[in-house]
Amino acid sequence: ILNVEQSPQSLHVQEGDSTNFTCSFPSSNFYALHWYRWETAKSPEALFVMTLNGDEKKKGRISATLNTKEGYSYLYIKGSQPEDSATYLCAPDNNAGNMLTFGGGTRLMVKP
Amino acid sequence: DADVTQTPRNRITKTGKRIMLECSQTKGHDRMYWYRQDPGLGLRLIYYSFDVKDINKGEISDGYSVSRQAQAKFSLSLESAIPNQTALYFCATSGGGVGYQETQYFGPGTRLLVL
């Protein structure tokens, strides 16, 4: 069982603030790192799949970076909006079989 | 129509009862998964199947069994439900690309309460 840690567990920000959170995972036998966004009462939805050290992905105001050598990924949200309120999950694949191990998530709440 | 559906969406049952959760997908994916979510613990893998003849235990398979009736259907059974199986259960699918790069698509979830 992989040790996947996400920090912080929860985060309250004001609308317009930029924020970031961290996913730490084992660097050995790494294949990919997935980020998912999970809104309350909905299903988790994929944000990014990252595979290469130094990868940076962007979707609108959300971006992510990846360091496979030290085993971490950052997710950034620029100018947070209330609709960004969700739990953000990271999940590394360390065995090439698309078996993901999910972290506990970071719950983001954006106040108008 | 949703690509990944789960039935029932909510279920209350009693300790010792057998219960089945069903998952169907129209995405044509080979890989299907069952997860449970408990507050603060993220999603934990119960069972996964890479095709109809391939079923594997995940991190927390004790107390659960599965059946892959067809490419599109993957059912999860609790043979004798116990209260600590109260959780939110998700089915997911993936396929069509390089395994570790494939996105998983989640169903809407089944909220199960075992009394």
Return the pLDDT at A65.
98
Record: contact B101-A49, CB cut-off 8 A: yes
Q: Give the closest-approach CA distance of B82 to chain A in angstroms.
A: 24
List Cβ neighbours of A49 (8 Å cut-off, separation of 6 or more): A32, A33, A34, A35, B101, B102, B103
Residue B83 pLDDT level (bands cut at 50, 70, 90): very high
- pLDDT recorded at residue B34: 98
Chain A interface includes B30 (CB < 8 A): no
Mutate to test the interface with B, among A98, A102, A106 (most CBs of B within 10 A): A98
Which candidate from A98, A101, A103 shows the least CB-CB separation from B99?
A98
| Closest CA of chain B from A4, distance in Å | 10
Q: Do B100 and A93 touch (CB under 8 A)?
A: yes
- The residue ranking higher by pLDDT, B102 or A62, is A62
Distance CA A70, CA A72 (A): 6
Whole-number mean pLDDT of chain B? Answer: 93
Helix (H) or strand (E) holding A36: strand A32-38
Three-state DSSP class for residue B100: helix
> For strand A72-77 and strand A62-67, is the pairing parallel, antiparallel, or unpaired?
antiparallel
Residue in B closest to A2 by C-alpha: B59
Cα B95 from Cα B44, distance rounded (Å): 20
Query: Do B45 and A100 count as a contact with CB atoms less than 8 A apart?
Result: yes
CA closest to B90 among chain A residues:
A43
Cβ separation A102–B44 shorter than 8 A: yes
- Which residues in chain A touch residue B104, judged by CB atoms under 8 angstroms apart? 34, 46, 98, 100
- Which has more confidence, A50 or B97? A50
Pick from A45, A51, A89: CB nearest B42 = A89
What pLDDT does residue B1 have? Answer: 61
Collect the ranges in chain A with pLDDT lower than 50. Answer: none
Span B28-81, pLDDT tens digits: 999 999 999 998 788 999 999 999 999 999 999 999 999 999 999 999 999 999
Please name every residue paired with B32 in a beta bridge, in sequence order, or none if there are none: B49, B93
Tens of pLDDT, residue by residue over A38-49, are 998 899 999 999
pLDDT of residue A98: 67
**Chain B residues near residue A46 by CB distance under 8 angstroms:** 103-105
Nearest chain B residue to A107 by CA: give it.
Answer: B40
